[in-house]
Copies of this chain bind each other. A is one copy, B any other.
Amino acid sequence: MIIVMKEGASKSEIERVMQLLQSKGLGAHLSEGAEMTVIGVIGQKEKVRELGVEGLPGVEKVVSVSYPFKLASRPFHPDNTTIEILGHVVGGDEPTIIAGPCSVESKEGLIEIAQEIKASGAHMLRGGAFKPRSSPYSFQGLGEEGLKYLAAAREATGLAVVSEVMEPGLVDLVADYVDVLQIGARNMQNYALLKAVGKTDRPVLLKRGFSNTIEEWLMSAEYILSEGNPNVILCERGIRTFETYTRNTLDLNAIPVVQHLSHLPVLVDPSHGIGHSRYVTAMARAGVAAGAAGVIVEVHKKPEEAWSDGNQTITLEEFDRLAKQVRDTHRLVREYQLEASRS
């Protein structure tokens, strides 16, 4: 942390800041320049970030320079993390392809979708049983019944299943049925929930909150990792910006950044990211070209009749093309990565 003093801060003001730091057991390093004086603070990251010195006389501003995450950081674990789920390796040589309806609707319909996406090369089936809806009057999901349908679809196809869990009290129930626990964007900073999934042995798909920085996202991963669960899969699903044409702004910049800062695998969700079915395939390709380990997309037999999110859902035919294009693009990128690592 760097403390920037005001131009014209007095010796005694500088002294007071230095003393406060030392009294907290933190190292303080004074640099006096012609135009400004800065104090570098060194010590335990958390302690340093807690300091409230900005209101002291003579202090202009406080600038944070270190990252607060550890277990999620690349220096802590230099190699990429890979996670095996029902035989498929997330973060491995093949891109991970997850697809399914926004909400689980009927058992037969779900199994049919599962069979179709499997034929197109999907590795996992997604489907919401507990749905976070901005309106209390909207369909809230089939609940445990929906989880049973997901389990039945796994039975029928061998696909792993992914579903969202929204509250700590339901983590065990959902974990009984699914292979991957999803934390939705709205709950990315629901710390009680993060701790609860961190205590299970299920891989966790952690979506980025739609207004959370990359640092906050990795801190939420840190919550899960610090509870003992090493299997966190990150998922970029679009951030909120001033642009209104698209539902969200899928932030592909986050992909190479996260791979630089962290060892965790990262997927993209172009369906929520751009929010209109006609653009989903282009963004899926772009996500993988940016370096993502795979995609998660919303698919339905008749998107216009889906119980939720129909506007961003693609058809099974579109999915078949998308899956092929994702594989081709991933193969290309994988080659470049291998070349780079050899050089």
Bits for A121-134, please: 1 = Cβ < 8 Å to B, else 0: 00000000000111
Q: Is A152 an interface residue (CB 8 A)?
A: no
* Contact yes or no, A33 B38, CB < 8 A: no
B residues in contact with A252, CB < 8 Å = 250, 252, 283, 286
Residues in B whose Cβ lies below 8 Å from that of A168: 167-169
Interface string of A219-263 (1 = CB under 8 A from B): 110110010000000000001111111100111111111001000
Q: How large is the interface on A (under 10, 10 to 19, 20 to 34, 35 or more residues)?
A: 35 or more
Is A187 engaged at the interface, CB distance under 8 Å to the other chain?
yes
Could you tell me the distance in whole angstroms from the C-beta of A247 to the nearest C-beta in chain B?
9
**Contact yes or no, B244 A241, CB < 8 A:** no
How far apart are the CA atoms of A260 and B287 in the complex, in Å? 19
Chain B hits for A277, CB < 8 A: 54-55
Residues of the B chain whose Cβ atoms lie less than 8 Å from the Cβ of A273 = 253
A113-143 vs B, Cβ < 8 Å mask (1 yes, 0 no): 0000000000000000000111111110000
Whole-angstrom distance between the Cβ of A35 and the nearest chain B Cβ:
7
List chain B residues, Cβ under 8 A from A172: none
Give the chain B neighbours of A242 by CB distance below 8 A.
211, 213, 239-242
Asked if A96 CB lies within 8 Å of chain B CBs, one says no
Whether A157 is near chain B, meaning CB under 8 Å from some CB there, is no
* A7 lies within 8 A of chain B by Cβ: yes
Per a CB cutoff under 8 Å, which of B211, B332, B333 touches A240? B211
Taken residue by residue from 288 to 308, chain A's Cβ proximity to chain B (1 for < 8 Å, 0 otherwise) reads as 111100000000000111111
- With CB as the reference atom, state the residue of chain B lying closest to A257: B245
In this complex, what residue of B is CB-closest to A52? B310
Known: A132-B191, A245-B214, A313-B55. A66 touches B4 (CB 8 A): yes
Q: Inside 8 A of A308's CB, which chain B residues have their CB?
A: 50, 52
A306-332: which have CB < 8 Å to B? 306-311, 313-315, 321, 325, 328-329, 332
Docked Cα-Cα span, A56 to B277, in Å, equals 10
User: Chain B residues near A274 (CB, 8 Å)?
Assistant: 253, 256-257
A109 at the B interface (CB under 8 A)? no
Interfacial chain B residues near A34, Cβ < 8 Å: 42
- Give residues in A with beta carbon < 8 Å to B: 2, 4, 6-8, 20, 27, 29, 31, 33-36, 38, 40, 42-43, 45-46, 49-56, 61-63, 65-66, 68-69, 75, 132-139, 166-169, 186-187, 189-193, 195, 209-211, 213-216, 219-220, 222-223, 226, 239-246, 249-257, 260, 273-274, 276-279, 282-283, 285-291, 303-311, 313-315, 321, 325, 328-329, 332-333, 336
Interchain residue pairs A-B with the least CB separation, the first 5: A52-B310, A211-B211, A289-B289, A33-B42, A167-B192
